[in-house]
Amino acid sequence: MNDIFKNSQPLVEIKNLYAGYQYEVVLEDINLTIEQDDFIGLIGPNGGGKTTLLRVLLGLLQPKSGSITVMGETPEKGRRRIGYVPQFAEYDAEFPISVRDVVRMGRLSSQRLFKPYSTEDDRVVDERLDWVGMLEYQDRAIRELSGGQRQRVYIARALTTNPTLLVLDEPTISVDIEARTQIYELLHKINQDGVTIFLVTHDLNVISSYVKTIGCLNRKLHYHGEKQITDEMLQSTYGCPVDLIAHGLPHRVLAEHKGGN
């Protein structure tokens, strides 16, 4: 599906990174390596720096110190190989834009503005809509869709660039539990098809079944390339003991750990 990054080096490599806004440091000494085929879930409290980290990754915010490379390049250059699904997609509910036109926007670039869509563009749009199960809704107005259906459309739009890395910021924040599960099933399929995924979320009750590794971020990053989260990691991230992370589901979602190992 995607134009795989042909290189043995990591897709993303972050070393000793500090970042923030003006005089405020939000991220402290971040070290993270994202390898091909990873599916990383990143959790943490509000204000802990998750969105700031995404902004640095996308080249929208310059680090205060440290280094970051995206597929061997600066984030500003490497982001052309990244598909991005933001937390909130702004749209005018009164503007009658169709599902298909929303997805086609993903084929635009600074070099393509005001140029007509090509046959290849239409082929890619058809393929991505079909892949996320929204082809039959292509002529429907985006405002007529449910929250889960809209998220599928936004994922399809991000995939039209044939990204090597798909980055998502809280993709299930406004959808019900059934739609959340469907979206994670879709992301699992996307990852199996060769797209690396870096996901920011609070949905540990669902995501723990699909991601390959989980990290905790609250200014500092606790990430060991593993799926399990220790009590020590949660204590450091949330500042208090955490026994259960769930949203309306009465069950433990992470294995119990003894001695912080």
Show the tokens assigned to 230: 């220790």
Q: What's the rounded Cα separation, in Å, for the pair 78 and 74? A: 6
CA-to-CA dists, residue 40 to 66, 152, 162, 240, angstroms:
22, 19, 19, 24
DSSP structural state of residue 82:
E
Nearest to 127 by CA among 96, 159, 82, 101: 159
- Residue 261 confidence (pLDDT): 37
Measured distance CA(86)–CA(186) in Å, rounded: 17
Which residue carries 């309306």 as its tokens? 248
What the chain holds in terms of domains, given with CATH numbers, is: 12-89+96-238 (3.40.50.300)
**Nearest-10 Cα torsion for 39, 31, 242, 188:** 0
pLDDT in tens, the chain (261 residues): 555 555 668 999 999 999 999 889 999 999 999 999 999 999 888 889 999 999 999 999 999 999 999 999 999 999 999 999 998 666 556 677 999 999 999 998 655 566 778 899 999 999 999 999 999 999 999 989 998 999 999 999 999 999 999 999 998 887 888 888 899 999 999 999 999 999 998 776 667 778 999 899 999 999 877 776 656 665 566 654 444 444 333 333 344 434 443
Give the pairing of strands 165-169 and 82-85: parallel
Helix axes 119-131, 147-159, angle to 10 degrees: 140
Tokens representing 82 are: 């990244």
Q: How far is 27 from 199, CA to CA, in rounded Å? A: 17
